[in-house]
Amino acid sequence: MTSQAQAAANSQTITIGGEPVITLTRPSPADKTKPQFLEAIVLPGRGMNLLQLKAWLPGKGEIDVIASPGLADAKQLLDNGDDEFGNRAFMLGSAILLPYPNRIRGTFSPDGKTIETTVAGKTLSLPANWKGKNPGAEKHAMHGLILSAKFEDVKHQDGPAESSASGILHTGDFGGHWPSKTDVSVRTTLKNNALDIVVATKNVGSEPLPMAIGAHPYFAFPSGDRQQARLRLPCGMRAPANNYDDVFPTGQIVPVKGTPFDFTAPGGAPLGTLFLDDSFTGIQRNADGNAVIEITDPAANYGLRILALSPEVKAVQVYAPPDKDFVAVEPQFNLVDPFNKKLWGETDTGMVLLQPGQSVSWHIRLELFTPAAGAAH
């Protein structure tokens, strides 16, 4: 049995978050001289998150595009090794983050469980699910409210051209944590040459709904050699953090030109030994209106293109510790702590305000390419 067939068989019997895992598959490549996607594993029981993504890479065979554990280990971590907030979801694979990717600060509650903060003029309580590692680090809210969500009306379709998984989540007002009721739909589509993820949110309540959407994918370097791996990021500005433990914004937005954080050149720049946990903005889009990010691993003759097709994507968080063989590239609507008027003043921080009945979508496409042949779009 091939590894794809084995994974498909396993996913029929494994549940994560109480829901069956979905494995999307493509046939083995007819032309083994070109890279091609093979398999994607989606978790309807944990936010429709993408757990794994595999591809065929000439010279290496089957590779992991996303750094993530196997199904059995993932089940153990997510079902038995998680905390009360569901934080484990954004520590592996690619988690969908909404209605706020990234960090939000507020006043810490006496019980240690929540923060109180102002969101679009309303005082709300949010889960205080994260803090830095340093002594006395400030607890805050991070990465949204669907980390443990179970999607409904889940559909899995296979066809000659593509394989897809979709689901719907009726969030209500996120347990009282957000101003209005929201419906979320997610569709993941796997083709030989592309993976598309579309996350659509609709305000089905009676109050204005602040919304931002993002994801947290850990992209692997097939060679394992992080220093020579390259990142191309079409972002001319950076919003520095106070430090790399809290990673709270300072309210500044500074140019990247002439700094170690400039990845704008064609072909990008090597990651080297630079630690990154930074929010980039000032996105330059191509003629089609898309933001094009590229990760290349010259030692493996490997390239991955990330296209942010939604115009609402205004920021990209990049997390890349020098001692790890991955880079997390997180296209999202918003800057960090987007409602903090003391920091941002009247700066547009990227949050979308949906009136009742209005919708907004986040659409990302992944494409494989061979670096020598892969000119930027």
d(CA 232, CA 119): 33
Mean pLDDT of 205-212: 97
Q: pLDDT by residue (tens digit) across 62-100?
A: 999 999 999 999 999 999 999 999 999 999 999 999 999
- Range list of H helices, 148-248: none
Mean pLDDT of 129-142: 96
- pLDDT interval class at 120 (50, 70, 90): confident
List, in sequence order, every residue forming a beta bridge with 54; answer none if it has no partner: 39, 64
Mean pLDDT of 197-204: 98
What Cα–Cα distance (Å) separates residue 175 from each residue in 26, 70, 141, 180, 333?
A: 38, 32, 15, 10, 23
Its domain, for residue 52, covers 3-373
- Range list of H helices, the chain: 3-13, 71-75, 341-344
Number of domains in the chain: 1
d(CA 353, CA 96): 19
CATH of the domain at 96: 2.70.98.10
Calculate Rg over the CA atoms of the chain.
20
d(CA 41, CA 234): 29
Please report the pLDDT score of residue 206 as a whole number: 96
pLDDT reading at 5 higher than 60:
no
Please report the pLDDT score of residue 373 as a whole number: 58
Please report the pLDDT score of residue 11 as a whole number: 47
Q: Are 203 and 182 in contact (CB under 8 A)?
A: yes
Give the three-class secondary structure for 6: helix
pLDDT reading at 169 higher than 90:
yes
Give the three-class secondary structure for 233: coil
Please report the pLDDT score of residue 13 as a whole number: 79
Mean pLDDT of 108-131: 93
What Cα–Cα distance (Å) separates residue 167 from each residue in 42, 136, 287?
A: 11, 40, 32
Q: Return phi, psi of residue 182, to 5°.
A: -135, 135
Q: Are 326 and 297 in contact (CB under 8 A)?
A: no
Please report the pLDDT score of residue 31 as a whole number: 92
Residue 133: count of CB within 10 angstroms of its CB = 7
Please report the pLDDT score of residue 10 as a whole number: 47
pLDDT reading at 342 higher than 70:
yes
What Cα–Cα distance (Å) separates residue 184 from each residue in 88, 192, 201, 323, 350?
A: 21, 27, 5, 36, 19
pLDDT over 70, % of the chain: 95
Mean pLDDT of 269-276: 98
355-359's contacts with Cβ under 8 Å and 24+ in sequence apart are 355/203, 355/208, 355/209, 356/180, 356/203, 356/204, 356/205, 356/206, 356/207, 356/208, 356/209, 357/202, 357/203, 357/204, 358/202, 358/203, 358/209, 359/200, 359/201, 359/202, 359/203
Please report the pLDDT score of residue 140 as a whole number: 97
Please report the pLDDT score of residue 156 as a whole number: 97
356: left (phi over 0), alpha (psi -120 to 50) or beta: beta
pLDDT reading at 192 higher than 70:
yes
Mean pLDDT of 166-179: 96
Please report the pLDDT score of residue 105 as a whole number: 97
pLDDT reading at 3 higher than 70:
no
pLDDT reading at 372 higher than 90:
no
What Cα–Cα distance (Å) separates residue 133 from each residue in 88, 139, 243, 244, 250?
A: 16, 10, 12, 10, 19
- pLDDT interval class at 374 (50, 70, 90): low
Nearest residue to 38 (alpha-carbon basis) of 375, 30, 46: 30
Mean pLDDT of 358-368: 98
Mean pLDDT of 34-54: 98
Global pTM reads 0.94
